[in-house]
């Protein structure tokens, strides 16, 4: 499996918008690609108990994420006709309005890139041992829950 990579998905702090632009640019050399699909997760200023979320602090079981991600990656390349797939998730503190998740799938035709991107976002939230702690204006904290 030449597409199987075990590189870490983690980025310390927010994912810079410039990285997203640079990653798109890098793919111009891969001329068999006809479609990209991108999902970006952004920290939302939720209101909790009359206070507002100002940041989320992420922690993870990094070794297990890497192992799990290798399996997931293999399953996705078997299921979808993808040219490539890149995933980045923040660790540490990410402020409201900043990007914490970047999923980038590419394929010859749009359907595979779109479907794989959507399924990957759901898979990340459900299957990867990552936790977010919401930090509020009054410095109180609430452990984030995924729906």
Partner 1 sequence: MEVQVIFFGSITDITLDNSVVIDGCVDINSLVQTLIERYPALANKKYFVAVNQKMVHENSKLKMGDTVALMPPFSGG
Binding site for partner 1 (CB under 8 A): 41, 58-61, 63-64, 67, 89, 100-101, 121, 124-133, 143-146
In the complex, minimum distance from the CB of residue 69 to partner 1, in angstroms, rounded to a whole number: 11
Nearer to partner 1, 21 or 64 (CB): 64
Q: Are 4 and 71 within 8 A, CB to CB?
A: no
In the complex, minimum distance from the CB of residue 124 to partner 1, in angstroms, rounded to a whole number: 5
Nearer to partner 1, 116 or 124 (CB): 124
How far from 64 is each of 101, 130, 132, 143, CA to CA, in Å? 18, 10, 17, 20
Using CA atoms, how far apart are residues 68 and 129, in angstroms rounded to an integer?
9
In the complex, minimum distance from the CB of residue 32 to partner 1, in angstroms, rounded to a whole number: 30
Using CA atoms, how far apart are residues 96 and 51, in angstroms rounded to an integer?
14
Nearer to partner 1, 111 or 131 (CB): 131
- How does 104-129 read in b/e, with b if 16+ C-beta sit within 10 Å? bbbbeeeebbbbbbebbbebbeeebe
In the complex, minimum distance from the CB of residue 77 to partner 1, in angstroms, rounded to a whole number: 21
Nearer to partner 1, 100 or 113 (CB): 100
In the complex, minimum distance from the CB of residue 53 to partner 1, in angstroms, rounded to a whole number: 13
Using CA atoms, how far apart are residues 116 and 85, in angstroms rounded to an integer?
9
Nearer to partner 1, 93 or 144 (CB): 144
137: region left, alpha or beta (phi > 0 left; psi from -120 to 50 alpha): alpha
């Amino acid at each position: 499996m030449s597409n199987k990579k075990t590189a870490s998905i983690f980025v310390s702090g927010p994912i810079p918008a410039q990285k997203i632009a640079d990653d798109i640019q890098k793919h111009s050399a891969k001329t068999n690609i006809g479609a990209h699909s991108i999902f970006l997760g952004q920290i939302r200023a939720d209101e909790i108990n009359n206070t507002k979320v100002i940041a989320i602090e992420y922690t993870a079981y990094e070794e297990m994420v890497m192992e799990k991600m290798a399996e997931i990656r293999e399953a996705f390349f078997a299921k979808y006709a993808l040219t490539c797939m890149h995933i980045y998730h923040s660790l540490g503190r990410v402020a409201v309005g900043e990007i914490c998740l970047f999923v980038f799938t590419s394929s010859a035709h749009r359907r595979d890139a779109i479907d794989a991107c959507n399924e990957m976002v759901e898979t990340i939230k459900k299957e990867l041992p990552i936790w977010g702690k919401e930090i509020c204006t009054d410095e109180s904290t609430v452990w984030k829950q995924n729906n």
